[in-house]
Structure 1
Amino acid sequence: MNPPSPHTAPHGAHPVHEHEHEHEHEHEHNAGDQTEILDLDAEVLAEHLASITAWLPIGTGPRHIVDLGCGTGAGTLALLERFPEAELTAVDLSSAHLNRLREKAAAAGAADRVRIVRADLDTTAWPELGTPELVWASASMHHMPDPDRTLRQVHDLLAPGGLFAVVELAGFPRFLPEDAPQDAPGLEERCHAALDHHHAEQVPHRGADWGTKLTKAGFTVEGERTVAVDIGPPRTDAAGRYALSGLRRMRGGVASALTTEDLAALDRLLDTGGPHSILRRIDLSVRTERTVWAARRT
């Protein structure tokens, strides 16, 4: 996901111009809210992410990887583990995300293998990112205002014969049984329906046909794989915190579309001190899907 001072561009990135400051401030506020859930996502779904990196038809290990919209580094660290000889350039607009990635890379003993670049990928002019053999974009392509242009930029960035891995999510994870909670059965599905409507308006490229788009951009799609996630119960503490953080974020997008009764039931789930807290549920699970496309620059 896209996800130094805001007035100072790090090495390799273009400065943020005055007219971008308002957009940047809003992005940083949202990014700060996302940091916890991105870290929990990486922890809870680490095994599934590793299975995706292991599947990539990359052949000999790449020497240089670019992670576009790196977030707090789930993909970055998974790729560094998968390709121990590689160096990686991690790109994101959020300084909060990049600072967290810097901490995680240092803790993993990989700080010397990561170059961090703060840049806005929505712009037509990208910073110098080298000539990677592998470009990775996880849950970031659907946020691009002109994804077709972005795909062409990636095509031109890659080394001849290089691989582009696009990973996209099948919406927000689900955590509750269908008949839960007892006072509002089916609440989570109604929240998802409201969120899907919200995303259709605000994030129109979510769910796009990326295989077709990659082909039109000049890539040869060599593989497509969907990884189904179904974890628990019994839940881990991390899964509980993941569900809590996820439903808190979902509430912000669906509150106006819910009935008074549903909103009250959702708030009872989010009340960590209450008897109906989602952290007290023993039937919690994590269910979602992720699809990856592997596309070659020929």
Structure 2
Amino acid sequence: MEQEIKIGVSACVLGETVRFDGGHKSSRFVTKELGNHFRFVPVCPEVESGMPVPRPTIRLISDKERIALVETRDASKDHTDSMLAFSRRRIERLQNEDLCGYVVCAKSPTCGMERVKVYGSNSAEKSGIGLYTKELMTRMPWLPIEEDGRLNDPILKENFVTRVFCLHDFYHSMDGEPSAGKIVAFHSRYKLTLMAHHPASYKELGKLVAQVANYSIEEFYQLYRVGLMTAMANRASRKNNTNVLMHIQGYFKKALEKSEKAELCQVIDDYRLGVLPLLAPLTLLKHHMQRFPDEYLQSQKFLNPYPQELRLRYGL
């Protein structure tokens, strides 16, 4: 049986009526498309920390010492300490869930990932992070986190889903018992993926893997996981993808006819120029791989990072 992939999701994004006004912010992409592949772990920090529905609106304010979470109409009603205490308890439980990603509600003073309004004495700056999500990012720095609204962007959407499947693959490969051999084997399968996402990190992780004997397995596991997911957070650029495609092309230089080589070069270059989507050269390369199988290439997750039915590479 295929191991389930768990992601945390702001409860309102799943359609639960937990917002301050009794409403929700249901995301069709999350509920309809991701729901076919992931098991959701819903969290509403405000309700779960004891706030009612409906409830007074809250916001972040900046004072001299800290960012505080207070009620909009009465700043003396301060929810900062209770929210932080809840966040630490809830995240401690989530750390035992093997979560592979998290979708948070944008602009929320508890869940927003970026550009959350923080009110000062004279103005509001879109510079904050929701209190709960900030704690989540601090305590689980390897976890792929994205906002519901940003998932409307095809590139951000594809990057998030790629990271989720990557982390799941990592956990699944460890099978509850990390070892140097398992991590080295995993790294081998993700070499082209890492080259596409962040070449510098690919080199740094390669150095780390080469020095595995210098670490305890627990230390190596933690260092590799953070390094891997930090690298994957960088979106694969057209330039980096082109370099990877050309690298793969090199495996067929002796097998293909002259006309086939020319066709493959042209398709890759058309992708580089933005004339064709990434799917075009990938489809042609997979066709040649069927004719001329290569064990190393067939192991590379770059070619199949997630189920095809998600159709995320059509617009890249």
Superposed pair shares fold, TM > 0.5: no
The structure in which a higher percent of residues are strand is 1
The structure in which a higher percent of residues are helix is 2
- TM-score, with length taken from structure 1: 0.24
- TM-score, with length taken from structure 2: 0.23
- Which structure has the bigger radius of gyration? 2
Task: Answer 1 or 2: higher relative contact order, Cα 8 Å, separation at least 6.
Answer: 1
